[in-house]
Structure 1
Amino acid sequence: MHLARYDTLEPFITADGSTIREWAGPGYSPARHQSLAEATLPPGTATIAHYHPRAEELYLFTAGRGRLRVGDDERDVQPGDCVVIPPGTVHKLWNSGDADLVLVCACSPAYSHEDTILVEGDQPPAD
């Protein structure tokens, strides 16, 4: 059995600029096809607009308040909201509150820097 405890997880910065603590993923757990992590965005910050050619993401917001753009749709997000981000869809997250914006993120296939394409000027990828 693989058991990950939050207080032992080493945080790292993803390609989009968020701070991640990964509970499960290839290379350090038995998970081979997905990853599960907690992401934190401090107040007044945002991720870099990006997309993942291969990975589908699920965001489950657990603390704070923010705004999320997925494709052409932009909405406020708060604890208890869950968003599906299809592969190849540009997305960007802002913390619009006065506390950390925290979310659990599941990726399939697992998150990798190589599957993260940063997008200049928040524009969708060219065809």
Structure 2
Amino acid sequence: MNLISHYKNIKAYVTRDGSEIRELMHPDTQGNKLQSLAEAIVKPGEITLLHKHIKSEEIYFILQGEGSMTLGNETIQVNNGDSICITPGTKHNIRNTGNEDLKILCCCSPAYSHDDTEIAQGAI
């Protein structure tokens, strides 16, 4: 079975961390089984809420822009072309420090779930 999604048909929504997401491939919509792939957009000057995922390992690939990312107890600078692995249970967020949209390709295994996302206390 071949699974395909078309970007033009995918509606964006806002996740619990405050980023705009397009689920490019997700078990709930395309029928794949073990992972999800999404595009996240963070507007200039915006920051996502500090959060963690209990079960999912997440990989970010920076498609466009630049940012400052909190990853556990570290703050790192990220730029176009960088990849970041976020292990389950690691608090993280990202701030767009540039003048254009920060676009991130997000891979989650197991697939992204709102129920697997915990917002850090004091982050709301």
Tell me whether the two structures share a fold, i.e. TM-score over 0.5.
yes
Deviation sequence 1:60-95 (CA, Å, 0-9, x none): 001011111110121111110000000000001000
C-alpha distance in 1, partners of 2:98/2:9?
28
CA contact (8 A) 2:71 2:86 kept: yes
* Equivalent residue letter for 2:37: L
Match for residue 91 of structure 2? 90
C-alpha distance in 1, partners of 2:79/2:20?
18
| 1:72 has 2:73 as partner | yes
Name structure 1 gaps, 5 residues minimum.
123-127
Map 1:97-108 onto structure 2 (within 5 A).
Answer: 97-108=98-109
Deviation at 1:31?
Answer: 1.3
Deviation sequence 1:5-36 (CA, Å, 0-9, x none): 11111101100000001111112112111100
Deviation at 1:120?
Answer: 2.5
C-alpha distance in 1, partners of 2:28/2:54?
21
| 1:38 has 2:39 as partner | yes
Name structure 2 gaps, 5 residues minimum.
none
Map 1:1-127 onto structure 2 (within 5 A).
Answer: 1-121=2-122
C-alpha distance in 2, partners of 1:31/1:49?
28
Identity across the alignment (%): 40
Aligned residue for 2:59, secondary structure, equals strand
C-alpha distance in 2, partners of 1:41/1:19?
7
* Equivalent residue letter for 1:80: G
C-alpha distance in 2, partners of 1:56/1:31?
17
CA contact (8 A) 2:57 2:108 kept: yes
C-alpha distance in 1, partners of 2:114/2:28?
14
How many pairs were matched up?
A: 122
Match for residue 125 of structure 1? none
Normalised by the length of structure 1, the TM-score is 0.92
Runs of 4+ more than 2 Å apart: none
Deviation at 1:99?
Answer: 0.6
Deviation at 1:121?
Answer: 3.7
